[in-house]
Amino acid sequence: MSEKKKYEQLYLEGPRSRWYELSFTFRVFKEFIRGYRTLHFAGPSVAVFGSARFKPEHPSYKLGEEIGRRLVKMGFAVMTGGGPGIMEAACKGAAEAGGKAIGCNIMLPFEQEPNPYANIKVDFKYFFVRKVLMFKYSFGFIILPGGIGTGDEMYEAMTLVQTQKIEGFPIVLMGKEFWEGTIKQLNDFDKAGTAHWSEIPSLLITDNIEEALQFINDHAIKKFGLKKKKFTPKPWFFEKAGL
- pLDDT tens sequence across 39-48: 988 888 999 9
Task: Provide mean pLDDT across the span 149-170.
Answer: 94
Task: Provide mean pLDDT across the span 24-38.
Answer: 93
pLDDT the model gives residue 167? 83
Domain ranges of the chain: 41-226
Separation CA 158–CA 37 (nearest Å): 27
Task: Provide mean pLDDT across the span 159-184.
Answer: 95
Separation CA 151–CA 134 (nearest Å): 15
Per DSSP, the three-state class of 164 is coil
Q: How many CB atoms lie within 10 A of CB 108?
A: 13
**Residue 75 gets which letter from DSSP?**
T
- pLDDT tens sequence across 56-68: 999 999 999 999 9
pLDDT the model gives residue 98? 96
Per DSSP, the three-state class of 120 is strand
pLDDT the model gives residue 45? 94
pLDDT the model gives residue 10? 64
- pLDDT tens sequence across 183-196: 999 999 999 999 99
pLDDT the model gives residue 72? 96
Mean pLDDT comparison of 11-25, 29-43, 54-68, 96-110, highest-scoring range: 54-68
Lowest mean pLDDT among 5-14, 29-38, 132-141, 172-181: 5-14
pLDDT the model gives residue 231? 57
Question: How many Å separate Cα 171 from the centre of its chain?
Answer: 11
pLDDT the model gives residue 235? 61
Task: Provide mean pLDDT across the span 194-215.
Answer: 96
Task: Provide mean pLDDT across the span 103-118.
Answer: 81
pLDDT the model gives residue 225? 72
DSSP per-residue codes, 8-73? HHHHHT----HHHHHHHHHHHHHHHHHHHHHHTTS-SEEEEE--S---TTSHHHHHHHHHHHHHHH
CATH number of 41-226, picked from 2.40.128.30, 3.40.50.450, 3.40.50.1370, 2.70.98.40? 3.40.50.450
